[in-house]
Structure 1
Amino acid sequence: MHEAFLLHADHAPAAPPAALPRPALRLSCVVPAHNEEANLALFVRALAQVVRALTPDYEIIVVNDGSRDGTHDAALALLPELPVRYLALSRNFGKEAALSAGIDHARGNAVLLIDADFQHPLEMLAQMHELWLAGYDMVYGVIADRTAESGAKRLGTRLFYRLLNSGNRVKVPPHAGDFRWMDRRVAEALKRLPEHHRFMKGLYAWVGFKTAALPFVPQDRAGGESSFNLRRLGSLALLGLTSFTTLPLRVWSVIGSVVALGALAYGGWITVETLLFGNELAGWPTLAAGIMLFSGVQLMSIGVLGEYVGRIYDEVKRRPSYLLARDEDRSPLRDGPAP
């Protein structure tokens, strides 16, 4: 696996860039947790053991995204023994908001985003660190094998990324997730983006910087069940499409143009037929079918337009992406100089 890493070439050359002097590593590990009572304590201890081999200066930021199980108590129990900063959101705001909260409060000169369910392999952290030292500003994991997923999910994933990247100047790498190592400069760039509805995979690509991709195969969850069901995945996909591409609007513009041209041609044919041969039929079936067709097209196009208007409505209210209910700071890191 170490020799099979792939480079995402949008912002990086095929070979690693010339190594830039990096300061001593001060690593902030952001761990979003939603109903992870069964995994959290074991995972954070395992993460700390791996990170200690890279640097003694680290913090683990656990973000409780409105869990309804014992995640809160499990996180508090870690405070006396590990350098943990515990952020409890006031309710479930979603993983994108939890990641944003962790990035906002990170103090290290590098930030690691990793899930608490053991699906992101901890053994890849050393390689991510090496690539960061080599000059890459962001190193992210790419799922190399999706055979364990259902056929419907694989098909939906391919369709989503094809739609998202069609005609879009900023290409979002397919099969890339939130498992990534970021330089402080990337974290600061993400913090400056003002969106309320944050599609993080798109924001990672939008900020740019030198990036590298590492393939990995997700491991089985150590315990519990994933909270990402089809409904949540569909909602996230809709958020990504409306946040980073206007393709749906363009598609319905094309459909409207085609239907209008077809209606114009059909109207011309009816006119010619009536003038030449007369028209003995009342034409109610044709009229009814035409009304139903045009009404359906109009309602669907209004629905697509409404999704974009709804995003605008939410954004102009300028509500924060998340609210903190509790902040327990046992991190040894303190805010350092600007990157």
Structure 2
Amino acid sequence: MSQPQPSVDVCHAAYMPAAPHGVVPRAPLLLSCVVPAYNEQENLEGFLRALIPAVQALTPHFEVIVVNDGSSDATHDVAMRLVNEMPVRYLALSRNYGKEAALSAGIDHARGNAVLLIDADFQHPLELLPEMHDLWLHGYEMVYGVIADRGAESGAKRLGTELFYKLMNSGSSVKVPPNAGDFRWMDRKVVDALKALPERNRFMKGLYAWVGFKTAALPFVPKDRAAGASSFNLRRLGALALLGLTSFTTLPLRVWSVIGGLVASIALAYGAWITIDTFLFGADLDGWPTLAAGIMLFSGVQLMSIGILGEYIGRIYDEVKCRPTYLVARDEDHSPLRDQA
């Protein structure tokens, strides 16, 4: 197979050495496939039966780690049946902690010298696995998929996504590649770096960018879900965006500092004008509507700024409690790589 031509990771281009031209020495591939699953009873079995042959074409030494993120459907029953038929390690979390925690659980328990993160809904194309493997062999330590076309999404979601990445990358020294997701292949050194990060509020896209290493981007168009509906509704997406902004940038605090300065400057100028007007023309009773509107405006600005400050304080509160990111309720370890631990 000819060497693939990956997209350049523009966010790390300044730090990335010249693209490797030959295969670098690596140990034989031991691949851990992390598959987070939340309410995937209709997709899980078919996906694993498609994933395993695709991985076997790359290496005979692999494991599949299915992380059940507190599903409320029959995902647990399906997974328990499959662990006796397939080379699968099944982790059932004690409740729904969110996808970021499920990914962290899979990464923490992965034993291979390379780790593949892939969703169970068939939206991540298995056809890209050979290219990811080849790029890893040629020296890249993290290969990630970038959504090339969001045409199937609503206009509001596309606009919100674009705004999020602009805010994220304008206020942080860590540049998160736009439209990059959790579909990625990581070398063991990247996995160990992610495991060493102690924070509890884990915005994985930001953590992938923060650890750095040599990266390559592969554009892809997400496929339609084979069955079921995505659990990422507007509320969850908004919460994830807020987590990312408060975890990796202080831009909201800076914005409200600027707004506060502007409002204070306008208030001082207006106060000076009122004083001069009173000395020159005397006082009257006009302007009460303006005064009431001004009080309401300034009160709203203060409450919004306190709310943003509270978000950051809340993150600090979560971190200092030092609670684990997730709890594993059941671990069925049928992994062929269990002797590698």
What TM-score range do you get, normalising by the shorter chain?
Answer: over 0.9
Task: Call closer, same or farther: CA 1:126–1:3 in 2, change over 3 Å.
Answer: closer
State the shift of 1:281 in Å.
2.5
SS of the residue corresponding to residue 179 of structure 1 reads strand
The answer as to 2:114 corresponding to 1:72 is no
In structure 2, stretches of 5+ residues that fail to align are none
1:110 to 107, 114, 123: 114
Cα distance in 2 for residues equivalent to 1:280 and 1:94: 60
| 1:254 corresponds to | 258
Q: Which amino acid aligns with 1:205?
A: A
The answer as to 2:241 corresponding to 1:237 is yes
Q: Which amino acid aligns with 2:33?
A: C
SS of the residue corresponding to residue 88 of structure 1 reads strand
| 2:317 corresponds to | 313
State the shift of 1:138 in Å.
0.2
The answer as to 2:10 corresponding to 1:6 is no
Give yes or no for contact 2:4–2:135 (8 Å, CA) kept in 1. Answer: no
| 1:295 corresponds to | 299
Cα distance in 2 for residues equivalent to 1:75 and 1:241: 35
Cα distance in 2 for residues equivalent to 1:330 and 1:81: 9
Cα distance in 1 for residues equivalent to 2:61 and 2:84: 17
Task: Call closer, same or farther: CA 1:296–1:68 in 2, change over 3 Å.
Answer: same
The answer as to 2:178 corresponding to 1:205 is no
SS of the residue corresponding to residue 181 of structure 1 reads strand
| 2:173 corresponds to | 169
Q: Which amino acid aligns with 1:249?
A: L
Give yes or no for contact 2:23–2:137 (8 Å, CA) kept in 1. Answer: yes
Cα distance in 2 for residues equivalent to 1:218 and 1:99: 19
Give yes or no for contact 1:107–1:335 (8 Å, CA) kept in 2. Answer: no
Q: Which amino acid aligns with 1:311?
A: R
State the shift of 1:276 in Å.
1.4
Q: Which amino acid aligns with 2:26?
A: R
Cα distance in 1 for residues equivalent to 2:22 and 2:297: 60
SS of the residue corresponding to residue 338 of structure 2 reads coil
State the shift of 1:13 in Å.
3.9
SS of the residue corresponding to residue 136 of structure 1 reads coil
Q: Deviations over 1:55-102 (max 9, x none)?
A: 000000000000111111111111122110000000000000000000
Cα distance in 2 for residues equivalent to 1:179 and 1:5: 15
Normalising to structure 2: TM-score of the pair? 0.96
Give yes or no for contact 1:85–1:327 (8 Å, CA) kept in 2. Answer: yes
Cα distance in 2 for residues equivalent to 1:64 and 1:21: 35
In structure 1, stretches of 5+ residues that fail to align are none
Task: Call closer, same or farther: CA 1:4–1:180 in 2, change over 3 Å.
Answer: same
State the shift of 1:12 in Å.
2.5
The answer as to 2:222 corresponding to 1:218 is yes
Q: Which amino acid aligns with 1:334?
A: R
Q: Deviations over 1:16-52 (max 9, x none)?
A: 3664311000000000000000000110111000000
| 2:328 corresponds to | 324
Cα distance in 1 for residues equivalent to 2:20 and 2:148: 21
